[in-house]
Each structure stands twice: as C-alpha cells, then as structure tokens.
Amino acid sequence: MRGDSHITAAFINSRRLGSYHFGPEHPFKPERMVEVYKMCEARGLFKDPAVRVVDVEEAIEGILERFHTPEYINVLRKADSGTKVDLDMLHYGIGSAENPIFKGVFEFAELSATASLTAARLVACGAESAFNPCGGFHHAHPDRASGFCYVNDVVIAIDELKKNGLKVAYVDIDAHHGDAVQEAYFSDPSVLTISAHETGKTLFPWGGFETEIGEGKGGGFNINIPLEPGSDDDVFLLLFREIVMEALGIFNPDVIVGQFGTDMLVSDPLTHLRLTNNGYIEAIEMLHDTFPRIVAFGGGGYSMNDIVRCWTLLWVEISGQELDEGYGGALGGVFLGDADVHGSDLRDMRSYTSGPEKERLLNESHRLISYFQKEIRPLLE
C-alpha cells in the first residue's frame, strides 16, 4: 500500500459485509455499512480527489490468528454453516441469542477484521485517516465471542500500527465499555486505552470503572470514564475535554484508533444516556483537530437512523469535507430543547438534562475529573 500518502481519508466499503444477517430479531444489523455508504454517496462525499473508497471483498487468510486462539478459531469455523449449535460452541460464547450462529459467521469475522486491518495499513502508509463502519468489535476476547463480537478487529489494527513503529492511543466512546481491548493492553504502557461509556452498574459488560487503571508497567495507561444514566452532551463533553483530551495531550500519540459507536444517543433502544449527535460529533471534532491521524471504526448503535447520520458526520469530519449549513427540520423532532444546531440537517436538536438531576450528574463528573487528576495523571507524566 505504499504510495498512498496523497490520500486524505479512506472509506472502507464492503458489499459482502453488508449482506450478512445475525437474524431477524437481533439488534446488530450489518447492512448499516451499506446505508452509511449510500448516504455519503448521495451527499457527494466521495467526489473529493483526496478521498478514496477502498473496497474489501476478500478476507486475508489467517487474519484471526493475529489475536485469537486456535481452539476458538476452529469452533468459529465450525459454526460457519449456521445450521446447528453444540455445547462446544456455547463454551466459546458462540450460539447464544447474543452471539448467534448464522450462515457465514466465520467469513463475516474474517472479512470485518480484514477491513479494519486495511484501514490501519492505509494510515500506517501515509493516509491521514481511514474509516471502517463495520469494525470496532471491542468485546471479543482471544478465546470467546461476547457482546455481538466474534473477532477483536480493534486489537488486530492496533498491533499492526505498533508493528509499523507508531505510538497508538485508543479512544472508545461506545456506550458499552471496551472491555476486551482494555484486557489486551492492561499491563502495556505502549498503548493508552480510554473508554467513555455508560457505567457498568447499569449496562453490559458490567465493568469499566474509574479504578481500573492498568497494572504493572501499564498502571495509569488505562482510563475509564463511566457515565451515569441520563448523562447529556454537556456532561459528556466536559469529561471528554478534561480527561480524554488531557490524557492524550500527555501521551502524545502518533495515531488515534477510535471506536465511535452511536449507542450513547438518547434514542438508542439498548442504553440509558441522553446524548445527541451534537455531543458525539463535537467530541470527534475536538479529537481530530488535535490528532489528525485517525483509524475510525463504527462499533455499537441500534437505531439505524442515528447510525447513518452519525457516521456520515464522522466521515465528513475525518475526511476534511463540509456539508451545507442549516437545519432541515425533519430529523430532530424527537428531541426537546435548544434548536441551536451547527452543521447540517443531519444534526439532532439538542436535548439537555436539567434541575437536580443535572446537578447530580455534574457533581459526579467533577468527582471523576478529580480522580483522574490525583490518581492517573501522575502515572502518565
């Protein structure tokens, strides 16, 4: 992939990835990749000569061996026919309602990892940023599937960037804690891992508390920001500025690997936060302004309308493009509050928590900031 230094941003596309189905009742819909591509294409966001659509339709053989155990890979391969669950599969987290077997599940895992590895290689070889909408499977452990995730493409991508001599920071703003990525680098000071998510007191995977800061030489290089239910844009952006950006400024990475799930939004059916896509994209803008090299993955999100709008805004930001100004009026009506939006008709109307609940949330935010300043920052410096 040498010679890609002229590319500002690469959008990873795959018709095959978008064609898989977890089942009619499952909340994870791979067709999200197709819908995001369609929206970006309709908005003319692939016309700039400095951006490129990179099609990934064939998997790299053996890619899962970069992180996963041979035993797990063999069981996942056995599940590929999608016909029958056995006890061996269930032992490895495969075949439950959470992580169902379906026709092509092994192929899906291989291809999604290949798409993320391709994104990492493009940035390592000179592109400023790359986006794989069908990536960010941050719950997959070396030896088992978990939380809709069969393969940990995030770790595979980070390790590829490290292999290319780049200093990597991982930033995860999915509503669910990035537990398996944390686990992979918990004692490794060469990678800074940061996860802002709904508190494990109320949401899977039931962890990710601020006291989980790494161990051994990795102490201080793992940062968790557990958000209380009801947290809105104000609360999230305060914590993002005071903890995420502060920690990144000290660590000073060459490249950011970002898991940018959309399930923090108020309309997501599986979570309990109250962000709008204004807080979401403003955090990414803040990040990109300071650290222009980003490998971006989609991650969670279970409202297709939110996904398409958020990830179109994400692509606009990391590819250095612009959308027409103005609020179209049709897309934010479910939100109450301030209509002062900046960007385009893809933006939500703002929604704010207020009164005693907001005061409680801000007090908790200041407690987390204080914990970071006293307990974590000294270990980073």
How far are the Cα atoms of 222, 263, 373 from residue 193, in angstroms, in the given order?
5, 19, 17
Choose the catalytic residue: 68, 138, 139, 197: 139
Helix, strand, coil percentages in the chain from 3-state DSSP, rounded to 5: 40, 15, 50
Residue 252 neighbours by CB under 8 Å, 6+ apart:
167
- Rounded-to-integer distance, Cα 133 and Cα 11, Å: 8
225 φ/ψ sector (left φ>0, alpha ψ -120 to 50, else beta): beta
Structure tokens given for 236 = 């999230």
**Nearest by Cα to 124 from 160, 77, 174, 169:** 160
Tokens of 5: 């230094």
141 is catalytic: no
Written as six digits, the tokens of 268 are 């997501």
Residue from 136, 143, 177 nearest 158 by CA: 136
Q: How far is CA 344 from CA 30, 56, 327, 328, in A?
A: 26, 30, 5, 7
Distance of alpha carbon 119 from alpha carbon 205, whole angstroms: 27
Say if CB 138 and CB 171 are below 8 A apart. Answer: no
Q: Which tokens go with 294?
A: 């980003």
Catalytic positions:
139
